[in-house]
Amino acid sequence: MRLLFAALMLTLSFGSAQAALDTESLPAGSVVVVGLDLTTMRTTKVGQAVEKLASTKGKELEVSRRLSEQLGIDTKKDLHGLVAGIYPGPDGKVAEKKASGIILIRGQFQPARINAFGQTNNIPSQTVGKHLAWEASPFMEKLTGEKPEERKAYVVAHSENLLIIAGAEFLERALASADRSEKSAHFPAPVAAKFAAASNGWLYLYADATKVKNKDEQVGVEELSLVLGENAVDLQLAVAAGFMSVEKAAKMRQQLRGLQAMASMGFASEAEKPSDEKENMAMLAELTQRTRIGGEEKQVTLDLDYPAEKVAKAISHVREKAQRASGTPAAK
């Protein structure tokens, strides 16, 4: 699981992506799907601020350097986005602590160079059809210098446009799906319609909570969807959760509104804080107040429109503070 989300965060930190959520080549049957449209993200105020923040972090810069030197991947130009899917096991459930799945990273790659890296470093591999699959843990350790969690997964340079990371039990399925550019429906119709309508979205999430082992039956969530994006003015968040009963949904709406009221009062009462902390508290109070809680019947919704300029400014303050602490000159 850690390998999968390491790849996701790597692409989030440095990538440049295509213009929409794209699940092509992701096998059907995933119960959690995460998609990132980083081209859209990097054209937004918030996305640009995040990119500048990432450029101040030494660890990310080192990973970027290693990718360029070892694999020929320019993290500013060659990574075009990703989609990740988590799949249930033989019992039809996703194990909470041992979840596994598939990540498809799209971009511009040099398969021969990636495979040469595996061969030069004597990384264990297997051949699946026409593809070389490298064990992900030693591959990532040689690439980053850090030893990841030991879990059987593989890295495959599938083509010049697609890099695959797959749990061992899903490797053959992932490659077969990619070989035929499989197009599968991954979402219920209302969720698919919401995602299609989010032309300015750059982060998407869908989860079927009924397929997760040991889920909290007291809460009663059956499915969850999320879209995060930005229009010309606002950062926009839309979350929807489906519940197993009307009663549980009504209870959740009530609890969320109570928490919203308490949080608004708590943030607004921090009058004795230093000026920069007061500014942060004021922003959190405004975020809380602008959050709209709604829905009907079995659905609960949470929506937020917040000035993107304010979010970008807050991220810039974090970057400047980090630069002052490290003595790094401010980026232009």
- pLDDT of res. 73: 93
Mean pLDDT for 51-69 is 78
Mean pLDDT for 287-316 is 94
**98 and 145 housed in the same domain:** yes
**164 and 115 housed in the same domain:** yes
**43 and 80 housed in the same domain:** yes
Q: Whole-angstrom Cα distance, residue 42 to residue 52?
A: 10
CB within 8 Å of 303: residues ≥ 6 apart: 236, 237, 238, 239, 291, 292, 294
pLDDT tens per residue, range 228-253: 999 989 999 999 999 999 999 999 99
Q: Examine the pLDDT at 322 and tell me if it is beyond 60.
A: yes
pLDDT tens per residue, range 110-129: 999 999 999 999 999 999 99
- The answer to whether position 199 is within a domain reads no
- pLDDT of res. 8: 46
- pLDDT of res. 12: 44
Mean pLDDT for 182-195 is 87
Where is the domain boundary, 159, 179, 199? 179
**219 and 299 housed in the same domain:** yes
Q: Examine the pLDDT at 270 and tell me if it is beyond 70.
A: no
**166 and 269 housed in the same domain:** no
How big, in percent rounded to 5, are the helix, strand and coil portions of the chain? 45, 25, 30
- pLDDT of res. 214: 61
Look at the chain and report how many structural domains it folds into.
Answer: 2
Q: Whole-angstrom Cα distance, residue 161 to residue 79?
A: 9
Its domain, for residue 11, covers 2-179
Residue 213 near residue 56 (C-beta atoms within 8 A): no
- The answer to whether position 188 is within a domain reads no
Q: Examine the pLDDT at 11 and tell me if it is beyond 80.
A: no
Using a pLDDT cut of 90, give the percent of the chain over it: 52
- The answer to whether position 195 is within a domain reads no
Strand pairing category for 125-128 and 131-135: antiparallel
**158 and 276 housed in the same domain:** no
**141 and 10 housed in the same domain:** yes
Q: Examine the pLDDT at 327 and tell me if it is beyond 70.
A: no
- The answer to whether position 78 is within a domain reads yes
- The answer to whether position 293 is within a domain reads yes
**146 and 244 housed in the same domain:** no
- The answer to whether position 331 is within a domain reads no
pLDDT tens per residue, range 200-230: 889 999 999 999 866 556 789 999 999 999 9
Mean pLDDT for 38-64 is 80
Strands (DSSP E) contained in 113-215 are 125-128, 131-135, 153-159, 162-167, 201-208
pLDDT tens per residue, range 259-269: 999 888 877 66
More confident residue, 326 or 297: 297
- Among 192, 223, 157, smallest CA distance to 35 is for 192
Mean pLDDT for 142-151 is 79
Strand pairing category for 234-243 and 221-230: antiparallel
- The answer to whether position 237 is within a domain reads yes
- The answer to whether position 184 is within a domain reads no
**288 and 228 housed in the same domain:** yes
- Amino acid found at 308: A
**8 and 115 housed in the same domain:** yes
